[in-house]
Protein backbone atom coordinates (compact mmCIF):
# COMPACT_ATOMS: atom_id res chain seq x y z
CA UNK A 1 0.00 0.00 0.00
CA UNK A 2 2.36 2.67 -1.20
CA UNK A 3 1.89 5.83 -3.22
CA UNK A 4 -1.00 8.26 -3.25
CA UNK A 5 -4.01 7.76 -1.01
CA UNK A 6 -7.16 6.28 -2.44
CA UNK A 7 -10.61 6.20 -0.88
CA UNK A 8 -10.07 2.58 0.14
CA UNK A 9 -6.72 3.35 1.76
CA UNK A 10 -8.17 6.28 3.68
CA UNK A 11 -10.74 3.96 5.25
CA UNK A 12 -7.95 1.92 6.87
CA UNK A 13 -7.08 2.75 10.46
CA UNK A 14 -3.83 1.86 12.23
CA UNK A 15 -2.40 2.35 15.67
CA UNK A 16 1.35 2.61 16.26
CA UNK A 17 2.75 2.34 19.78
CA UNK A 18 6.03 3.91 20.85
CA UNK A 19 5.41 6.65 18.31
CA UNK A 20 7.00 9.57 20.15
CA UNK A 21 10.34 8.96 18.47
CA UNK A 22 12.53 6.60 16.49
CA UNK A 23 11.00 3.66 14.63
CA UNK A 24 7.45 4.29 15.90
CA UNK A 25 7.44 7.90 14.77
CA UNK A 26 8.78 6.83 11.38
CA UNK A 27 6.14 4.09 11.12
CA UNK A 28 3.27 6.45 12.01
CA UNK A 29 4.54 8.95 9.43
CA UNK A 30 4.96 6.26 6.76
CA UNK A 31 1.53 4.69 7.33
CA UNK A 32 -0.12 8.10 7.15
CA UNK A 33 1.73 8.83 3.91
CA UNK A 34 0.47 5.47 2.60
CA UNK A 35 -3.09 6.61 3.24
CA UNK A 36 -3.92 5.08 6.61
CA UNK A 37 -5.62 7.09 9.35
CA UNK A 38 -3.22 6.71 12.28
CA UNK A 39 -3.38 6.83 16.08
CA UNK A 40 0.15 7.51 17.33
CA UNK A 41 0.58 6.19 20.86
CA UNK A 42 3.22 6.75 23.51
CA UNK A 43 3.32 7.00 27.28
CA UNK A 44 5.39 10.19 26.90
CA UNK A 45 2.77 12.81 26.04
CA UNK A 46 5.32 15.64 25.69
CA UNK A 47 7.38 13.82 23.08
CA UNK A 48 4.17 13.00 21.19
CA UNK A 49 3.65 16.73 20.55
CA UNK A 50 4.97 16.32 17.00
CA UNK A 51 1.72 14.52 16.12
CA UNK A 52 -0.67 17.39 16.89
CA UNK A 53 1.84 19.86 15.42
CA UNK A 54 1.23 18.30 11.99
CA UNK A 55 -2.35 19.68 12.08
CA UNK A 56 -3.38 16.55 10.16
CA UNK A 57 -6.87 15.33 11.15
CA UNK A 58 -5.94 11.84 9.97
CA UNK A 59 -3.07 11.54 12.45
CA UNK A 60 -3.98 11.77 16.14
CA UNK A 61 -2.07 11.23 19.36
CA UNK A 62 -2.98 9.02 22.29
CA UNK A 63 -0.98 9.01 25.50
CA UNK A 64 -1.14 5.55 27.08
CA UNK A 65 0.98 2.95 28.87
CA UNK A 66 1.13 -0.30 26.87
CA UNK A 67 2.18 -2.35 29.87
CA UNK A 68 -1.21 -1.77 31.53
CA UNK A 69 -4.54 -3.34 30.60
CA UNK A 70 -6.25 0.05 30.81
CA UNK A 71 -3.70 1.61 28.47
CA UNK A 72 -4.44 -0.91 25.74
CA UNK A 73 -8.19 -0.42 26.13
CA UNK A 74 -7.62 3.35 25.75
CA UNK A 75 -5.62 2.82 22.56
CA UNK A 76 -8.31 0.75 20.86
CA UNK A 77 -11.01 3.14 22.09
CA UNK A 78 -9.07 6.07 20.60
CA UNK A 79 -9.05 4.38 17.17
CA UNK A 80 -12.75 3.52 17.34
CA UNK A 81 -13.85 6.89 18.76
CA UNK A 82 -11.81 8.94 16.34
CA UNK A 83 -11.95 6.86 13.15
CA UNK A 84 -14.66 4.23 13.75
CA UNK A 85 -12.62 1.10 13.04
CA UNK A 86 -9.27 -0.62 13.40
CA UNK A 87 -7.37 -2.50 10.69
CA UNK A 88 -3.68 -2.39 11.51
CA UNK A 89 -1.66 -2.50 14.73
CA UNK A 90 2.07 -1.82 15.07
CA UNK A 91 3.14 -2.88 18.57
CA UNK A 92 6.45 -1.09 18.64
CA UNK A 93 6.85 0.47 22.11
CA UNK A 94 9.88 -0.89 23.88
CA UNK A 95 12.53 -0.29 26.51
CA UNK A 96 16.13 -1.53 26.63
CA UNK A 97 18.11 -2.65 29.62
CA UNK A 98 21.39 -4.28 30.50
CA UNK A 99 22.87 -5.54 33.72
CA UNK A 100 24.41 -8.42 35.62
CA UNK A 101 22.60 -11.73 35.25
CA UNK A 102 23.22 -12.38 38.91
CA UNK A 103 22.36 -9.05 40.45
CA UNK A 104 20.13 -6.92 38.22
CA UNK A 105 17.02 -6.09 40.22
CA UNK A 106 13.89 -8.06 39.45
CA UNK A 107 11.98 -4.75 39.44
CA UNK A 108 14.04 -3.78 36.41
CA UNK A 109 13.50 -7.18 34.80
CA UNK A 110 9.75 -6.85 35.39
CA UNK A 111 9.82 -3.37 33.83
CA UNK A 112 11.44 -4.69 30.66
CA UNK A 113 9.19 -7.75 30.42
CA UNK A 114 6.19 -5.55 31.26
CA UNK A 115 6.64 -3.28 28.26
CA UNK A 116 8.30 -5.56 25.70
CA UNK A 117 6.41 -8.81 26.33
CA UNK A 118 3.34 -8.15 28.48
CA UNK A 119 2.67 -4.97 26.50
CA UNK A 120 2.67 -6.94 23.23
CA UNK A 121 0.38 -9.68 24.61
CA UNK A 122 -2.03 -7.07 26.00
CA UNK A 123 -1.87 -5.10 22.75
CA UNK A 124 -2.82 -8.11 20.64
CA UNK A 125 -5.61 -9.19 22.98
CA UNK A 126 -7.09 -5.70 23.16
CA UNK A 127 -7.09 -5.32 19.38
CA UNK A 128 -8.74 -8.64 18.49
CA UNK A 129 -12.43 -7.63 18.83
CA UNK A 130 -11.96 -4.44 16.79
CA UNK A 131 -9.92 -6.22 14.09
CA UNK A 132 -12.51 -8.99 13.93
CA UNK A 133 -15.25 -6.37 13.56
CA UNK A 134 -13.34 -5.01 10.55
CA UNK A 135 -13.40 -8.47 8.95
CA UNK A 136 -9.73 -9.09 9.76
CA UNK A 137 -6.56 -7.06 9.83
CA UNK A 138 -2.85 -7.17 10.51
CA UNK A 139 -0.55 -6.80 13.49
CA UNK A 140 3.20 -6.21 13.42
CA UNK A 141 5.32 -6.62 16.53
CA UNK A 142 8.66 -4.83 16.66
CA UNK A 143 10.86 -7.57 18.08
CA UNK A 144 14.63 -7.43 17.48
CA UNK A 145 17.63 -9.42 16.34
CA UNK A 146 18.08 -9.50 20.12
CA UNK A 147 14.94 -11.66 20.21
CA UNK A 148 16.60 -14.15 17.88
CA UNK A 149 20.02 -14.30 19.55
CA UNK A 150 21.66 -13.18 22.79
CA UNK A 151 23.76 -10.13 23.64
CA UNK A 152 26.20 -9.67 26.52
CA UNK A 153 24.41 -8.39 29.67
CA UNK A 154 21.15 -7.84 27.78
CA UNK A 155 19.51 -11.08 28.91
CA UNK A 156 16.33 -9.40 30.19
CA UNK A 157 15.88 -7.58 26.87
CA UNK A 158 16.77 -10.79 24.97
CA UNK A 159 14.17 -12.73 26.97
CA UNK A 160 11.50 -10.08 26.43
CA UNK A 161 12.09 -9.82 22.68
CA UNK A 162 12.41 -13.58 22.21
CA UNK A 163 9.12 -13.99 24.05
CA UNK A 164 7.41 -11.31 21.97
CA UNK A 165 8.69 -12.88 18.76
CA UNK A 166 7.44 -16.36 19.55
CA UNK A 167 4.19 -14.97 20.91
CA UNK A 168 3.66 -13.29 17.52
CA UNK A 169 4.08 -16.67 15.79
CA UNK A 170 1.65 -18.37 18.17
CA UNK A 171 -0.88 -15.54 17.81
CA UNK A 172 -0.62 -15.86 14.02
CA UNK A 173 -1.74 -19.47 14.33
CA UNK A 174 -4.66 -18.74 16.67
CA UNK A 175 -5.89 -15.67 14.76
CA UNK A 176 -5.57 -16.98 11.21
CA UNK A 177 -9.17 -18.13 11.10
CA UNK A 178 -10.24 -14.57 11.92
CA UNK A 179 -8.19 -13.30 8.95
CA UNK A 180 -5.90 -11.48 11.35
CA UNK A 181 -2.24 -11.71 10.29
CA UNK A 182 0.48 -11.37 12.91
CA UNK A 183 4.11 -10.82 11.97
CA UNK A 184 7.27 -9.47 13.57
CA UNK A 185 10.08 -7.27 12.36
CA UNK A 186 13.52 -7.85 13.85
CA UNK A 187 15.56 -4.68 13.56
CA UNK A 188 19.32 -4.73 13.86
CA UNK A 189 21.18 -1.56 14.86
CA UNK A 190 18.97 1.41 13.94
CA UNK A 191 20.44 4.86 14.46
CA UNK A 192 18.91 8.06 15.67
CA UNK A 193 16.25 6.64 17.98
CA UNK A 194 15.65 7.24 21.67
CA UNK A 195 17.45 3.97 22.35
CA UNK A 196 20.50 4.47 20.19
CA UNK A 197 21.11 8.24 20.14
CA UNK A 198 23.06 8.17 23.43
CA UNK A 199 25.54 5.65 21.97
CA UNK A 200 25.77 7.59 18.72
CA UNK A 201 26.44 10.89 20.53
CA UNK A 202 28.43 9.89 23.56
CA UNK A 203 30.21 6.59 22.84
CA UNK A 204 31.49 6.90 19.26
CA UNK A 205 33.88 3.95 19.54
CA UNK A 206 31.06 1.55 20.47
CA UNK A 207 28.85 3.08 17.78
CA UNK A 208 31.57 2.37 15.23
CA UNK A 209 32.24 -1.09 16.70
CA UNK A 210 28.61 -2.04 16.20
CA UNK A 211 28.65 -0.75 12.62
CA UNK A 212 31.65 -2.96 11.90
CA UNK A 213 29.50 -6.08 12.50
CA UNK A 214 26.96 -5.11 9.84
CA UNK A 215 27.50 -6.63 6.36
CA UNK A 216 25.93 -3.52 4.78
CA UNK A 217 28.58 -1.56 6.73
CA UNK A 218 26.24 1.04 8.21
CA UNK A 219 23.56 1.56 10.82
CA UNK A 220 19.95 1.30 9.63
CA UNK A 221 17.51 4.21 9.56
CA UNK A 222 14.13 4.28 11.36
CA UNK A 223 12.47 4.77 7.95
CA UNK A 224 13.86 1.43 6.77
CA UNK A 225 12.12 -0.43 9.60
CA UNK A 226 8.98 1.67 9.06
CA UNK A 227 8.90 0.52 5.43
CA UNK A 228 8.96 -3.13 6.53
CA UNK A 229 6.20 -2.52 9.10
CA UNK A 230 4.06 -0.72 6.51
CA UNK A 231 4.57 -3.54 4.01
CA UNK A 232 3.62 -6.26 6.51
CA UNK A 233 0.48 -4.29 7.47
CA UNK A 234 -0.47 -3.76 3.83
CA UNK A 235 -2.42 -6.04 1.51
CA UNK A 236 0.81 -6.64 -0.41
CA UNK A 237 1.63 -9.05 2.44
CA UNK A 238 -1.85 -10.63 2.39
CA UNK A 239 -0.62 -14.27 2.54
CA UNK A 240 2.17 -13.63 5.03
CA UNK A 241 1.62 -14.41 8.67
CA UNK A 242 3.79 -15.70 11.50
CA UNK A 243 7.09 -14.51 10.01
CA UNK A 244 10.00 -12.78 11.72
CA UNK A 245 11.48 -10.40 9.16
CA UNK A 246 15.03 -9.23 9.91
CA UNK A 247 15.67 -5.59 9.03
CA UNK A 248 19.28 -5.74 10.06
CA UNK A 249 21.68 -5.04 7.21
CA UNK A 250 22.65 -8.72 7.22
CA UNK A 251 23.68 -9.03 10.89
CA UNK A 252 21.79 -12.30 11.40
CA UNK A 253 23.17 -13.77 8.17
CA UNK A 254 26.44 -14.26 10.05
CA UNK A 255 27.54 -17.03 12.41
CA UNK A 256 28.87 -14.24 14.61
CA UNK A 257 32.38 -15.81 14.74
CA UNK A 258 33.85 -13.24 12.40
CA UNK A 259 33.01 -9.82 11.09
CA UNK A 260 33.22 -8.42 7.55
CA UNK A 261 36.85 -8.25 6.36
CA UNK A 262 38.12 -10.92 8.81
CA UNK A 263 39.81 -13.12 6.19
CA UNK A 264 41.30 -10.29 4.14
CA UNK A 265 43.19 -8.54 6.93
DSSP 52: H
Residue 158 engages ligand NAD in binding (rule: CB under 6 A): no
Residue 193 engages ligand NAD in binding (rule: CB under 6 A): yes
> Coil, strand, or helix at residue 171?
helix
Nearest-approach distance from CB 177 to ligand NAD, in angstroms: 28
Nearest-approach distance from CB 92 to ligand NAD, in angstroms: 5
Query: Which residues inside 26-55 make contact with ligand NAD, applying CB under 6 A?
Result: 42-44
Name the maximum alpha-carbon separation found in the chain.
60
Q: Which of 36, 83, 157, 219 is catalytic?
A: 157
Residue 23 engages ligand NAD in binding (rule: CB under 6 A): yes
Burial class (CB in 10 A: 0-12, 13-18, 19+), 168: buried
Instruction: Identify the residue among 1, 16, 21, 86 touching ligand NAD (CB under 6 A).
Output: 21
Q: Which is nearer to ligand NAD, 35 or 119 (CB)?
A: 119
Confirm if 30 and 229 have CB atoms less than 8 A apart. yes
Strand 180-187 relative to strand 137-142: parallel, antiparallel, unpaired? Answer: parallel
Distance of CA 194 to CAs 82, 187, 197, Å? 28, 14, 6
Site string for ligand NAD, 54-93 (x = CB under 6 A): -----------xxx------------------------xx
Contacts of 65 (CB under 8 A, 6+ apart): 43, 71
User: Interface with ligand NAD by CB under 6 A: which range of 3-11, 13-21, 30-38, 74-82?
Assistant: 13-21
Contacts of 262 (CB under 8 A, 6+ apart): none
- Which positions touch ligand NAD (CB under 6 A)? 17-18, 20-24, 42-44, 65-67, 92-95, 115, 119, 142, 144, 187, 189-190, 193-196
Active-site residue set:
157
Amino acid sequence: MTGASTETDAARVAVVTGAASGIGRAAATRLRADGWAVVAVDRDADRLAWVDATGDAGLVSCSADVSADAGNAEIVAAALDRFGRLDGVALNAGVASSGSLESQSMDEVDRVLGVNLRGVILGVRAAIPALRASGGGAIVVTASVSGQYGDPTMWAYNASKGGALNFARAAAIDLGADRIRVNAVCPGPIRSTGMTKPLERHVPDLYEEMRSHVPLARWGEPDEVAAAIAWLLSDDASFITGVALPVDGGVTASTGMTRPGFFTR
